[in-house]
Amino acid sequence: MTHALEISALAKTYKGGFQALKGIDLTVQKGDFFALLGPNGAGKSTTIGVITSLVNKTVGKVKVFGYDIDNDLEKAKSFIGLVPQEFNFNQFEPLLNILVNQAGYYGVDKKTALIRAEKYLKQLELWDKRNGPARELSGGMKRRLMIARALMHEPQMLILDEPTAGVDIEIRRGMWEFLQELNAQGITIILTTHYLEEAETLCRNIAIIDGGKIVENTSMKGLLAQLDGETFVLDLTPYQGNITLDNISYRIIDDHTLEIDLHKKQSLNSVFDQLSKQGVEVLSMRNKSNRLEALFVNLIAKKEPNTDNLHSNKKQAS
Amino acid sequence: MNNSIALKSILTKEIQRFTRIWVQTLVPPAITISLYFVIFGSLIGSRIGEMGGFDYMSFIVPGLIMMSVITNSYSNVASSFFSAKWQRNVEEMLVAPVPNWVIVAGYVGGGMCRGILVGLIVTLVSLLFVDIQIHNVWIIIATVMLTSATFALGGLINAIFANSFDDISIIPTFILTPLTYLGGVFYSISLLPEFWQGVSQANPIVYMVNAFRYGFLGISDVSLVASFSVIIFFIVCLFTTAMVLINKGIGLRS
């Protein structure tokens, strides 16, 4: 079966000796919504750079829809739409020109390009700005312009490198809906983001990269199942006196807020029952922190001993 | 993939760029050349008399047109490609399935368009000062096309290596301008001592200016065969160099 993306033993060492990728293997299925997460400097952008041919790899294989970038680079590129981390369009060009030119680079004729430009600019609420220079757009609008540009040749795989960075929550959620619609149409999406809530909401599969290595590669459900427990914040009707919960770790924050630590084998029903018996109603409930965030921190923290060693070595040296 | 659409897109983008900022790109050469005509042609030229059998103003017109073509073809590609690198919008092309020869051809085509357009503007300005005669229009067209292509390629290579805006002004200031001034724009190299005539023959711009002047006036200090051979030699060398650099991703890919 042909995958949307197959990476094997990919390594990249930059001039100066920095080893950004240390032999990563990664497979993304067709139609997947895939998260590639990692701390700053982990190798996410380098991986994307190699896939899109902006970075020369040192060794390894990359195939896009079965086309090897070493042998069929142009064919492989034709499947990919890239939304890079930084704004990289000509700030002085009108939006329509940016989109029509981009389509032209993929061999799309002007007539078709204009139709698509209108479609995506309207969908992304930029149509009114189409004749103005890109520099007049707000940060959120520029992000949306880059998404529209990446879609002009109707790619089968969309790679988004932190597409919602610096975007306010309302626009971010609008972009999520738009990306989910694209994915529903069959477009494979690879997403890097620092908003773990974004990855948890959108993505079905996930890889976590750290120090140039893949430290986790699984389904989102599988990853979240690794959580031993979760902390919930419960908003309650105001109550008098003490609340007591048997076999549950809890903290009373104030007279209408309670935090509970629930092991994955424990049921929320037991908590609700106990509170109900004490005449306390639960008005709403939320996770204290993002579930993926907790796992992410745990996975990255596995490298902490090395950091500690570094610190202790430094101390010894000084 | 339809490469002709990609080529047209790059070319259109380049033409839109220099026409959008026409006050910076098209007007200054016309003003500069007008000053050359006034100072070197009318004021000083009238005291020089004839050169090569023509009055001085008529003699320098082809050289001045060629000087504008050279400068503008070079600077258009150097500044445009470097800006694309600097703003990173060159990545729009690098991530697309555009063959590298199309990128080179698109930028060079853009540089040629600006060089030739400025050449036309300068020609129109010169008509205010002198009656232009044409000896062979095909040689004029061939020379201006090939010369603008040569220097557009030079500008592209400069931009590939450039790391700052200073780097794209060094070559024009320290190499291109001196070679142009010493390339027979204002004088016939036959007036130079024998040694300096020999030195001048190592300057490729001498061949371009003289071939162009032959097209207008029917006179040249060097043979047409030598002129076109030199120009084509430089085009082949510069195109090959540009392709090797872009294929390797020098200055473009990390």
Return the percentage of chain B with pLDDT > 70, whole number: 100
Cα A79 from chain centroid (whole Å): 20
Where does the pLDDT of residue A296 fall: very low under 50, low under 70, confident under 90, or very high at 90 and above?
confident
State how far the Cα of A116 lies from the Cα of B191, in Å rounded to an integer.
63
B5 close to A (CB below 8 A): yes
Helix locations, chain A, DSSP H: 44-51, 73-78, 95-105, 110-123, 139-151, 169-184, 196-202, 220-224, 268-277, 291-301, 304-317
Cross-sheet strand order for the sheet of A59-64: A19-28, A5-13, A59-64, A67-68
Q: Decide if A102 and B5 are in contact by the 8 Å CB cutoff.
A: no
- Burial of B63 from C-beta contacts in 10 A (0-12 / 13-18 / 19+): buried
Cβ–Cβ under 8 Å, residues B40 and B58 = no
**Both structure tokens of B25:** 């790109």
Where does the pLDDT of residue A38 fall: very low under 50, low under 70, confident under 90, or very high at 90 and above?
confident
State how far the Cα of A98 lies from the Cα of A102, in Å rounded to an integer.
6
Of A84, A91, A105, the CB nearest to B96: A105
Of A14, A49, A106, the CB nearest to B96: A106
State how far the Cα of B49 lies from the Cα of B61, in Å rounded to an integer.
15
Cβ–Cβ under 8 Å, residues B45 and B56 = yes
Of A53, A78, A102, the CB nearest to B92: A102
DSSP state of A204: S
Cβ–Cβ under 8 Å, residues B6 and B101 = no
User: Which positions in chain A touch B2 (Cβ < 8 Å)?
Assistant: 107, 109
Of B173, B169, B150, which Cα lies nearest the Cα of B159? B169
Give me the pLDDT at residue A68, please. Answer: 94
Q: What is the pLDDT of residues A60-81, one digit of tens each?
A: 999 999 999 999 999 999 999 9
Cβ–Cβ under 8 Å, residues B222 and B201 = yes
**Both structure tokens of A128:** 């009114």
Q: Which one of B89, B163, B246, B248 makes the best mutation probe of the A interface by having the most chain A beta carbons within 10 Å?
A: B89
Q: Decide if B10 and A105 are in contact by the 8 Å CB cutoff.
A: yes
Q: Transcribe B75-121 into DSSP letters.
A: HHHHHHHHHHHHTTTTHHHHTTT--HHHHHHHHHHHHHHHHHHHHHH
Cα B196 from chain centroid (whole Å): 24
State how far the Cα of A24 lies from the Cα of A35, in Å rounded to an integer.
15
Q: What is the pLDDT of residues B63-119, one digit of tens each?
A: 999 999 999 999 999 999 999 999 899 999 999 999 999 999 999 999 999 999 999
Helix locations, A209-303, DSSP H: 220-224, 268-277, 291-301
State how far the Cα of B184 lies from the Cα of B180, in Å rounded to an integer.
8
Q: What is the pLDDT of residues A155-176, one digit of tens each?
A: 999 999 988 877 788 888 888 8
Residue type, A168: D
Helix locations, B162-203, DSSP H: 167-171, 177-181, 194-200
Distance from CA of A19 to the nearest CA of B (A): 13
Asked whether the predicted pLDDT for residue A307 surpasses 50, the reply is: no
The predicted model gives B23-51 an average pLDDT of 83
Of B1, B3, B5, the CB nearest to A78: B1
Q: Which one of B21, B92, B248 makes the best mutation probe of the A interface by having the most chain A beta carbons within 10 Å?
A: B92
Distance from CA of A153 to the nearest CA of B (A): 10
State how far the Cα of B60 lies from the Cα of B229, in Å rounded to an integer.
23
Return the percentage of chain A with pLDDT > 90, whole number: 48
Q: Decide if B95 and A55 are in contact by the 8 Å CB cutoff.
A: no
Give me the pLDDT at residue A290, please. Answer: 65
DSSP state of B222: S
The predicted model gives B31-53 an average pLDDT of 80
Asked whether the predicted pLDDT for residue A306 surpasses 70, the reply is: no
Cβ–Cβ under 8 Å, residues A95 and A131 = yes
Residue with tokens 């998404």: A147
Give me the pLDDT at residue A313, please. Answer: 39
Give me the pLDDT at residue B251, please. Answer: 86
**Both structure tokens of A264:** 């994955």
List the single residue in A with minimal CA-CA distance to B8. A104
Cα B13 from chain centroid (whole Å): 20
User: Which positions in chain B touch A75 (Cβ < 8 Å)?
Assistant: 97
Tell me which of A268-277, B61-70, B198-207 is least confident: A268-277
DSSP state of A284: E
Q: Decide if B94 and A54 are in contact by the 8 Å CB cutoff.
A: yes
Of A75, A77, A93, the CB nearest to B96: A77
> CB B205: neighbour CB atoms within 10 A?
25
State how far the Cα of A282 lies from the Cα of A275, in Å rounded to an integer.
8
Distance from CA of A24 to the nearest CA of B (A): 19
Q: What is the pLDDT of residues B128-173, one digit of tens each?
A: 888 888 999 999 999 999 999 999 999 999 999 999 888 988 888 8
State how far the Cα of A250 lies from the Cα of A271, in Å rounded to an integer.
10
From residue B88, alpha-carbon distances to A84, A305, B42 in Å are 10, 39, 47
Distance from CA of A98 to the nearest CA of B (A): 9
**Both structure tokens of B88:** 């990173």
Tell me which of A87-101, A107-121, A256-270, B95-109 is least confident: A256-270
Q: Decide if B2 and A56 are in contact by the 8 Å CB cutoff.
A: no
Of B6, B13, B91, the CB nearest to A54: B91
Residue with tokens 């490609």: B81
> CB B9: neighbour CB atoms within 10 A?
28
Of A296, A212, A217, A211, which Cα lies nearest the Cα of A24? A212
Of B27, B31, B36, B30, which Cα lies nearest the Cα of B59? B36
The predicted model gives A5-17 an average pLDDT of 92
Q: Decide if B94 and A105 are in contact by the 8 Å CB cutoff.
A: no
The helix or strand, by DSSP H or E, that contains position B41, with its residue range, turns out to be: none
> CB B22: neighbour CB atoms within 10 A?
10
State how far the Cα of A59 lies from the Cα of A10, in Å rounded to an integer.
6
Higher pLDDT, A265 or B114: B114
B92 close to A (CB below 8 A): yes
Q: Cα-atom radius of gyration of chain A, to the nearest Å?
A: 24
The interface predicted TM-score of the complex, written ipTM, equals 0.85
> CB B198: neighbour CB atoms within 10 A?
11
